[in-house]
Amino acid sequence: MAFEQVRIARFRNIEEAELRLGAGHIFLLGENGQGKTNFLEALYCLSYGTSFRTHQDRELIMHGGSEFLLRAAWSEKGAPAEEQISLKYSKEGRKEVRLNEKVLSDRKELVAHNPAVVFCHEDLAFAAGVPEERRFFFDQCAGMLWLEYIDLLRFYRRVLKHRNVALKTDTFSILDTLDEQLALYGCEIMAVRKRLSLLFARRFPESYERVSQLGTEIAIQYMPSWPEGASVSEIIELLAQQRPRDIEATTSLSGPHRDRWVFTREGRNFSSFASTGQLRLASLILRIVQVHLYAELSGGEVPRFPVLLLDDVLLELDVAKRRRFFSLLPDKSSGAQAVFTFLPEEPWHEYADETTIVYRVSNGRFSCEEGR
């Protein structure tokens, strides 16, 4: 689905804006700090009920304000708007998300309707950062592809939290029960992550090489903390064997929360010697694969793509790589929608056509570029 129109009020530096977005490509032109990324953040919030830049909803309110409102309409391949979404944060500190006027109690419900994938500078952490950052990406991707994974991860984290509290407070009598639950949920998580790793292994190397043209394959390897293929009973036994170590450390030292994903090139850890540019490209390709996997697995005869939000990502690529990167994006004829941010001096005209909607952004205000 695609955004047809959006209304933003008192969000970040955007005081009031009502814009039409009924196109495959929307370009936002403006200098840094004018509100381009804030606009992408608003669309992301409408897709998931939360920001990709902060966990504090209060930070999203315009300076000096006490509340914000976001509202949008979605449609399927240019048809009249089928669904409406609104997100309101009130001065009392309450957030209300409505889908077709129905109040949603769980943000998970939004994922099935109109997910978004954001490409931003912070994504570099997925390729160059600590294992936790990489796990975050793959867990996010798994939850987008299989909604049941979201609850599975919630259950695992809840049991893990209780187990760590028991280890810290010497409440060892409940560890047998907690270990059974941790092993059960953990094995299911490992199975989903293994399935996801196979899907990425099929797409990532070819896509990365297509843009980078390094001449050698960059692969992704999933490295679980527990033995791969172990049964629930075997994991329970392993946890019992490791319990003295966990008690001494007062935390759980093994499990899916310790899994790793490693980029390799010719048998070596690619992240340890790759350039910043190569790692940044890897993070972009991760997002590209995420987009195409969602379309592939979302069901239906016609592929359904998430909305793409691309925040100045082309700045990191030379001209040739930009063109090759664009070739990986889903075609507009498929119903896919992408919103790009550009600095004014960038050659954005090269990527625009007569259907592209172009907005100039200055101090949180938007003006439509004429003659597109």
Does any domain span residue 285?
Answer: no
Helices (H) and strands (E) in the chain, counts: 9, 15
Please give the Cα distance from 151 to 111 (Å, whole number): 13
Does any domain span residue 160?
Answer: yes
Does any domain span residue 54?
Answer: no
Please work out, in degrees rounded to the nearest 5, the angle formed at the alpha carbon of residue 237 by the alpha carbons of 234 and 240.
155
Please work out, in degrees rounded to the nearest 5, the angle formed at the alpha carbon of residue 332 by the alpha carbons of 327 and 337.
105
Domain assignment of residue 203, given as a range: 128-274
Q: What are the helix (H) ranges across the chain?
A: 36-48, 108-111, 124-128, 131-145, 148-168, 175-212, 232-249, 276-297, 319-328
Count of CB atoms within 10 A of residue 110's CB? 20
CATH number at residue 230: 1.20.1050.90
Domain count for the chain: 1
Q: Please list the pLDDT of the chain residue by residue as tens digits (372 residues).
A: 789 999 999 999 999 999 999 899 999 999 999 999 999 999 999 999 999 999 999 999 999 999 999 999 988 765 666 789 999 999 888 999 999 989 998 888 888 888 999 999 999 999 998 999 999 999 999 999 999 999 999 999 999 999 999 999 999 999 999 999 999 999 999 999 999 999 999 999 999 999 999 999 999 999 999 999 999 999 999 999 999 999 999 999 999 999 999 999 999 999 999 999 999 999 999 999 999 999 999 877 778 899 999 999 888 788 899 999 999 999 888 889 999 999 999 999 988 989 999 999 999 999 998 644
By the 8 A CB rule, do 218 and 255 touch? Answer: no
By the 8 A CB rule, do 359 and 35 touch? Answer: no
Does any domain span residue 108?
Answer: no
Does any domain span residue 113?
Answer: no
Does any domain span residue 195?
Answer: yes
Does any domain span residue 182?
Answer: yes
